[in-house]
């Protein structure tokens, strides 16, 4: 007899006289079918009882416990920050935890992407550390109008190139080179907007537009040049500082709005007060100041930096 759970389906044939309300005429294999079905059920209930249910529940419980452990603190603020701050803010958060025992959670991305997630989609941030004016315009009433912690970081733009690319001096040369140039997407990240402004100011936007590649944020633009997938890129000075697999072509001095980062708290958020505490720590700590400065940021005070 074939050992196949379906074999008795094939064996089982209803008597033609069978009707739904009456009784089926038992066939010779009836008994074995019944015993088989019983075995099958036993097997399954054992399997379910022993393994699946317990292990699934156990795993779910573990998962829940792990997640609760992961973002347990009620007083841990979540701060959305510009991608270009990822290294310095992560390091500053480590210093903060070491010195005060307090933690912050950081999530990095294009400032415009993140600002829209908060303003239009209700993302649960307690504070933001964004660059430029537009994120503030998007967030409008939601954020503190005066920057918290009174620290402002100032940045500039650079033209960078992958290692084996030819040297270009000006933005005009860059446009004339007909090479691929990566910038952050102006719709998603201020870095892209500043780069666009600079190219427009230099009068080469139309010429270069067809050679441009848009990346999700400025760090993605840097990565594209580092990997050699794009010959040139326009990124922040501070992005180029940490990278030894690119070469710096030129610094762009004019034609774009001031690149200033400030921390703001979200007024209605649960942990906004803890976000403010973090910003205040940033503006006071000498160690943090060193981190920012060695990464190439110019430190200004929010009051005097025109925000």
Partner 1 sequence: MNSDISIVALSLQIALVATAVTLPVGMFVAWLLVRKQFRGKFVLDVFVSLPLALPPVVVGYALLWLVGTNGWIGRLSESLFGSTLAFTWIGAALAAAIVSLPLVVRSFAAALAGVDPRLEVAARGLGAGSVRTFLTVTLPLAYRGVIAGVLLGFVRALSEFGATIIVAGNIPGRTQTLPSAIFTRISAGSTDDAWRLALISVVLGVIALAIHNWLLKRTANGIYNSNGGAR
| Positions in the binding site for partner 1 (CB under 8 A) | 1, 3, 5-6, 9, 12, 14, 20-21, 23-24, 32, 35-37, 39-44, 47, 56, 59-60, 62-64, 66-67, 70-71, 78, 83, 86, 105-109, 117, 121-124, 215-217, 219-220, 222-223, 226-227
Closest contact distance (angstroms) between CB of 126 and partner 1 is 12
Q: Which two tokens stand for residue 240?
A: 């180029």
CB of 233 to partner 1, least distance (A): 11
Residue among 117 and 179 whose Cβ is closer to partner 1: 117
Query: Are 143 and 267 spatial neighbours (Cβ–Cβ below 8 Å)?
Result: yes
Nearest to 17 by CA among 31, 27, 32: 27
Q: Show the tokens assigned to 38.
A: 């019983």
In this structure, the strands spanning 127-131 and 259-265 are antiparallel
Pick the closer one to partner 1 by CB: 124 or 169.
124
Tell the smallest beta-carbon distance from residue 3 to partner 1 (Å): 5
CA atoms within 13 A on the CB side of 14: 8
**In terms of CB distance, is 53 or 146 closer to partner 1?**
53
Closest contact distance (angstroms) between CB of 172 and partner 1 is: 28
Nearest CB to partner 1, comparing residues 95 and 216: 216
Write b or e for each residue in 43-53: b if 16 or more Cβ atoms lie within 10 A of its Cβ, otherwise e.
eeeeeeeeeee
Cβ nearer to partner 1, comparing 76 with 95 = 76
Q: Residue 279: enclosing H or E segment and its boundaries?
A: helix 272-284
Q: Which is nearer to partner 1, 78 or 302 (CB)?
A: 78
Q: Which of 155, 145, 152, 228 is nearest to 190 (CA)?
A: 155
The CA distance from 106 to 69, in Å, is: 16
Give the chain's count of helices (H) and strands (E).
Answer: 13, 11
Of residues 128 and 175, the one with the C-beta less far from partner 1: 128
Cβ closer to partner 1: 54 or 290?
Answer: 54
DSSP letter, residue 266:
B
Minimum separation from the CB atom of position 243 to partner 1 (A)? 8
Cβ count within 10 A of residue 267 = 12
Radius of gyration for the alpha carbons in the chain, expressed in angstroms and rounded: 31
Q: Alpha-carbon distance 83 to 92, whole Å?
A: 15
Query: Closest distance between partner 1 and the C-beta of residue 67, in Å?
Result: 6
- Output the smallest distance, CB 175 to partner 1, in A: 25
Least distance to partner 1, CB of residue 166, Å: 22
Nearest to 127 by CA among 299, 282, 260, 278: 278
């Amino acid at each position: 007899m074939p050992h196949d759970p379906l074999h008795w389906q094939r064996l089982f044939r209803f008597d033609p006289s069978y009707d739904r309300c009456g009784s089926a005429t038992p066939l010779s294999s009836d008994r074995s079918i019944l015993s088989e079905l019983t075995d099958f059920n036993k097997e399954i209930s054992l399997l379910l009882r022993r393994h699946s249910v317990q292990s699934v529940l156990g795993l779910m419980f573990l998962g829940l416990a792990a997640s609760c452990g992961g973002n347990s603190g009620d007083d841990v603020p979540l701060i959305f920050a510009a991608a270009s701050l990822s290294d310095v803010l992560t390091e500053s958060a480590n210093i903060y935890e070491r010195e005060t025992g307090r933690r912050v959670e950081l999530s990095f991305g294009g400032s415009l992407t993140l600002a829209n997630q908060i303003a239009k989609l209700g993302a649960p941030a307690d504070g933001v550390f964004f660059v430029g004016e537009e994120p503030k315009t998007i967030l409008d009433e939601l954020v503190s109008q005066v920057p918290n912690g009174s620290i402002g970081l100032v940045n500039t733009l650079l033209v960078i190139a992958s290692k084996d690319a030819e040297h270009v001096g000006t933005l005009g040369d860059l446009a004339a080179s007909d090479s691929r140039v990566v910038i952050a997407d102006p719709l998603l990240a201020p870095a892209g907007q500043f780069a666009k402004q600079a190219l427009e100011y230099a009068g080469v936007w139309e010429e270069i537009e067809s050679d441009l590649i848009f990346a999700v944020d400025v760090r993605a633009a840097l990565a594209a040049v580092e990997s050699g997938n794009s010959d040139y890129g326009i990124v922040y000075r501070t992005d180029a500082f940490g990278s030894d697999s690119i070469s710096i072509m030129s610094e762009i001095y004019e034609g774009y709005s001031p690149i200033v980062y400030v921390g703001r708290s979200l007024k209605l958020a649960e942990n906004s007060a803890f976000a403010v505490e973090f910003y205040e720590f940033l503006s006071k700590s000498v160690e943090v100041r060193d981190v920012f400065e060695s990464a190439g940021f110019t430190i200004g005070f929010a009051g005097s930096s025109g925000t």
